[in-house]
Amino acid sequence: MHATIQKPLKEIINALSKDEKVFVVGCGNCAEKCRSGGEEQAREMKARLEKEGVRVVGYAATASGSSLCKLAAAKKLLLEEHKEEVAKADSFLILACGQGIHTVIDATGGAVVHPGCDTIFGGETVSDDFITEYCSLCGECIVEATGGLCPVTICSKGLLNGPCGGAKEGKCEVDKEQDCGWQLIYDRLKELGKLDLFRQYQSPKNYAKRSNPRSLKLEEKRATFKSLAGLRTIGQDR
Amino acid sequence: MSVLKDRLTKSEFVITSEIGPPKGINIEPHLKEAEELKDRVSAINVTDNQSSVMRFGSLATCHLLAKRGIEPVFQVVTRDRNRIALQSDLLSAWGLGVENVLCLTGDHPSLGDHPESKPVYDLDSVQLLQAADSLNQGKDLVGNELDGKPDFFLGAVVTPAADPLEPQIIKMEKKVKAGARFFQTQAVYDAGQFARFMKEVAYLKVPVLAGIVLLKSAGMAKFMNENVAGVNVPQDLIDEMKSVSKEDRPKKSIEIAGRLIKELKPLCQGVHIMPLGWDKYVPQVLDAAGL
Ligand code: SF4
Ligand code: SF4
């Protein structure tokens, strides 16, 4: 899940030029679940903008459960289902994550886009009303050594070799309400009887695998990850 | 050779203190502070953008101390520099007369005066020690040969009153394996608790300098108990501070610190005094401790 939160209306309006005709685009998957950009929020956004005098030529969102960041879906939505309103638009206000914003550029062959949301993290949907992050998409998963809990993400400093001196009563130095990630990792390794993993030195991370932009190429039974660390192909016929 | 290293190697009881560079360029008063302590201590730590507040640099301050014949301990945090900058600064430090390095993670930027800055933490403190140790062996972190190598005396920090203690000790062990040859601790107030800690880490056979922070008032003690990780001022010390008038607080504080050092002396290899502005009382503390 790519978590998003809507930008303040004022910021959205400030980015639009006078008389700009806008089409609002939402996403039926992550953005809908985050209540930042499903069909309902796209409709509401249209009404809120119109109330402020913005010219909105239409709105649309991919169907519930379907992602805007799939190019084929975005094309179908904008170039087929909403072809006529889209033709009148000067620009698109995207209520989705940054991937969705770019998908609209691709789908429209380079249209002007405005971000309507801030993309905040990739997270686990713990419940319908709580999403939190357990992975920072680092490209080199090391949680084998930490009982499945990610130190890069749940420790505020992303420390790999154990806690800093800042934890107090199991809470992190940055926020008294937030669990110290290393306290959680220590507790879990202890429970699993695997504290020896904590004793092992973890070498610095390979940030070349976290370079950007990265890509994944998929062929039948093969997948190739491209980053500044090079190409890595995994597949049955490798 | 590093006097700190020499004295610790000879198992002498060692005293270190520290200064924090200013926010601005007026470094002179801080160098004077260090000069006043010079004859009573083996080395003086210089904090590195302490509490994530942007200040005059630790490396430059260390160099200025070294030029005046005061042995510095260069504190290096991993918060602000990536592995290239950290290694480069370490090589530069050697060139500027710095022989002792204390490797730390550093407080999170959100606690300081530039909370919107990008936290780096490309390395953690253990990895920084490993990098510095490898520079000592003539190689950089990725194994490239150096043209001339330093010979740093490497140190690290530990929190003896951490709860739970085990993760601290595991990390301390990793620091020793990575190259730490001495430890300075978070402020200690409870000799009994510290004795238990020293027993637990005896197997590491590494010199430990107990951290001493002068109590300025009962309020400060309470504040630290509530807000500073791994600091535990026992109630009787708080009561003792409370029992004296405002004018008598420094005297009481000196008495408490002196007594504490006497209690800690048989347990460890030295003390690291963090005066936090009360530099002028450090000589009296040492007198009270019989050092
Ligand atoms: S180690 Fe990297 S890939 Fe694994 S959970 Fe953490 S951020 Fe994600
Ligand atoms: S207190 Fe814990 S979670 Fe916070 S930075 Fe330190 S080790 Fe990481």
pLDDT in tens, B154-190: 999 999 999 999 999 999 999 999 999 999 999 999 9
Q: Given this model, what pLDDT does residue A237 score?
A: 58
Question: Which residues sit opposite A2 in a β-bridge?
Answer: A122
Nearest to A204 by CA among B237, B281, B86, B258: B86
Token match 């014949």: residue?
B69
B150 CA → ligand 2 middle, Å: 32
Contact A204 B164 (CB under 8 A): no
Instruction: Quick: pLDDT tens for B200-241.
Output: 999 999 999 999 999 999 999 999 999 899 999 999 999 999
Cβ of A148 below 6 Å from ligand 2: no
Contact B163 A156 (CB under 8 A): no
**In the predicted model, is pLDDT for residue B291 greater than 80?**
yes
Are A55 and A21 in contact, with CB atoms under 8 Å apart? yes
CB atoms closer than 10 angstroms to residue A46: 19
Return the percentage of chain A with pLDDT > 90, whole number. Answer: 97
Q: Given this model, what pLDDT does residue B1 score?
A: 86
* pTM (2 d.p.): 0.95
Task: State the fold for domain A2-122.
Answer: Rossmann fold (3.40.50)
Chain B residues whose CB is inside 8 A of the A182 CB are 167
**In the predicted model, is pLDDT for residue B153 greater than 60?**
yes
Question: Closest ligand 1 atom, CA of A134?
Answer: 5
Instruction: Quick: pLDDT tens for A57-81.
Output: 999 999 999 999 999 999 999 999 9
Mutation test residue for ligand 2: of A164, A178, A179, A202, the one with most atoms within 8 Å of CB: A164
Q: What CATH code is carried by the domain that includes residue B93?
A: 3.20.20.220
> Among B108, B178, B229, whose Cβ lies nearest the Cβ of A156?
B108
CB atoms closer than 10 angstroms to residue A127: 7
Cβ of A87 below 6 Å from ligand 1: no
Best B126, B134, B274 member to test A by mutation, with max A CBs in 10 Å, is B126
Q: In the predicted model, what is the mean pLDDT of chain B? A: 97
Q: Please tell me the residue having the least CA distance from ligand 1 atom 3.
A: A141
Interface of A with B in 55-114 (CB under 8 A): none
Say if B52 is an interface residue toward chain A (CB within 8 Å): no
Best A138, A154, A159 member to test B by mutation, with max B CBs in 10 Å, is A159
Q: Where are the domains of chain A?
A: 2-122, 139-199, 208-238
**In the predicted model, is pLDDT for residue A117 greater than 70?**
yes
Q: Domain containing B240: what range?
A: 3-288
Chain A residues whose CB is inside 8 A of the B122 CB are 204, 207
Chain A residues whose CB is inside 8 A of the B171 CB are 161-163
pLDDT mean over A151-162: 98
- As for how many domains chain B has, the answer is 1
| Residue in chain B nearest A201 by alpha carbon | B174
Q: How far is A200 from chain B (nearest CA, A)?
A: 8
Instruction: Quick: pLDDT tens for B187-205.
Output: 999 999 999 999 999 999 9
| Residue in chain B nearest A200 by alpha carbon | B174
Are B288 and B255 in contact, with CB atoms under 8 Å apart? yes
B128 CA → ligand 1 middle, Å: 21
| Residue in chain A nearest B106 by alpha carbon | A164
pLDDT mean over A203-223: 95
Instruction: Quick: pLDDT tens for B94-149.
Output: 999 999 999 999 999 999 999 999 999 999 999 999 999 999 999 999 999 999 99
**In the predicted model, is pLDDT for residue A1 greater than 70?**
yes
Q: Given this model, what pLDDT does residue B277 score?
A: 87
Instruction: Quick: pLDDT tens for B10-31.
Output: 999 999 999 999 999 999 999 9
Say if A156 is an interface residue toward chain B (CB within 8 Å): yes
| Residue in chain B nearest A160 by alpha carbon | B124
**In the predicted model, is pLDDT for residue B56 greater than 90?**
yes
> Among A158, A183, A202, whose Cβ lies nearest the Cβ of B121?
A158
pLDDT mean over B34-40: 94
Chain A residues whose CB is inside 8 A of the B123 CB are 204
Give whole-number Cα distances, B166 to A174, B126, B196, B209, in Å.
22, 16, 12, 19
Question: Which residues sit opposite A61 in a β-bridge?
Answer: A26
**In the predicted model, is pLDDT for residue A238 greater than 60?**
no
Say if A164 is an interface residue toward chain B (CB within 8 Å): yes
